[in-house]
Amino acid sequence: MDFELSEEQRLLKDAVDGLLSDGYSFTRRKKYMNEAGGWSKDIWRCLAEQGLLGLPFAEVDGGFGVGAVETMIVMDALGKALVLEPYLATVVISGGFLRHGGSAAQRAEHIPPIIDGRKSFAFAQLEQDSRYDLHDVTTSARKRGQSWVIEGKKFVVINGESADTLVVTARTKGAQRDMSGIGVFLVPANVKGITKKAYPTQDGLRAADITFTDVDVGAYAAIGDPDNALLLIERVVDEARTALCAEAVGAMDESLKITVEYLKTREQFGAPIGSFQSLRHRIADMFIALEQARSMSMFATLAVDFDDAAERAKAVAAAKMQTDMSGKFIGQQSIQLHGGIGMTMDTKIGHYFKRLTMIGNTFGDTGYHLRRVSESSVLV
């Protein structure tokens, strides 16, 4: 794919790469994992000071009004550095709901503290039996007077432990798997009736299972139409999938570089193992898988703003499928080429594989997106 960055985009790439290469070593990452909430408030502040938290928001809301390509650039860099901070949950997902569906009052209240780093958000969507179906919702939102009251439970809410505000999907009417009757609500994380069970995930992030018991969120908590928000949810989640593809490409790119360097230094039979032809073939296969994922990530980035929701969904599903396949292959090969040391917690390569595995199971795994592609008759 012929894809060239503009001068401004190249400057952005250099800036974010430089920031993370200076402040996000593997040793520091392990330190950040032990901070409150599992990520560094100082790094979050640095991202805000560099303007990275305000990139996708409109200028009228205090942002820079840039597009999906800039998000791709940032997510690629976050993937290379294995960043723990909740950029995806706060800026891409929660910010996406505010950009596409938020009222002027909601944008004015919530976007400025995102941009300046004062608040982080979490997306509470996954339920016990919902798998990857965004319309499978049992958490309820009912009217009590003028207020909305939330009841239910959400699982594996990334950044749910430390988020200031939760973006929650809830059913306002209909049966569990109806396409209509689903709303999206802004819920303060410290409001009465919320209980959390926090835990680390396999890739070093932190998540929480969150229970909502008679949670009163006021009259103006709904983002958009509280009875017909599924199209909004699908659009924002497609943007999140596209961002995850870019993050995965960054992680794969760095995994390949680390593995190549290891093969140059590890010796066996008196020679670097990188000189063995069979291992060179492995590296070539890994490079091909990386470039396949990179091309599809770029394709999804260009397609995510399509007005036609069906065409956008097809492109994003194809990209997520290829990215997940490439991530699994590159991760497995990287571990095997490192040998036993690749399985240890003190070796960086294993952490990349864990993150790639988690990305592969976020908002749909390979089989799920393969079905989406097949059902839409998309050629990949």
Place of tokens 């520091």: 28
Tokens, residue 345: 């917690």
Helices (H), the chain: 7-23, 26-33, 41-49, 68-81, 87, 95-101, 104-115, 230-265, 277-303, 309-338, 348-360, 366-375
- Give the Cα separation of 41 and 295 in Å (integer): 33
66 vs 373: CA distance, rounded Å? 29
pLDDT at res. 259: 95
Longest alpha-carbon distance in the chain = 79
Return the pLDDT at 377.
58
d(CA 352, CA 349): 5
3-state secondary structure at position 133? coil
* The residue type at 296: M
List the structure tokens of 235.
């659009």
Q: Specify whether the CB–CB gap between 167 and 186 falls below 8 A.
A: yes
The amino acid sitting at 324 is D
Stated as kind and residue range, the H or E segment containing 147 is strand 147-158
The pair of structure tokens assigned to 56 is: 């996708």
Question: Of the candidates 304, 326, 191, which has an alpha carbon nearest to the alpha carbon of residue 240?
Answer: 304
pLDDT per position in the chain (380 positions), as tens? Answer: 567 889 999 999 999 999 998 889 999 999 999 999 999 999 999 999 999 999 999 999 999 999 999 999 999 999 999 999 999 999 999 999 999 999 999 999 999 999 999 999 999 999 998 999 999 999 999 999 999 999 999 999 999 999 999 999 999 999 999 999 999 999 999 999 999 999 999 999 999 999 999 999 999 999 999 999 999 999 999 999 999 999 999 999 999 999 999 888 876 777 877 667 888 999 999 999 999 999 999 999 999 988 888 999 999 999 999 999 999 999 999 999 998 888 888 899 999 999 999 999 999 999 999 999 988 754 44
Q: Are 104 and 52 in contact (CB under 8 A)?
A: no
> Which residues on neighbouring strands pair with residue 124, listed in sequence order?
168
Distance, CA of 99 to CA of 93 (rounded, Å)? 10
40 token code pair: 């560094």
Angle at CA of residue 207, ends 88 and 141, nearest 5°: 85
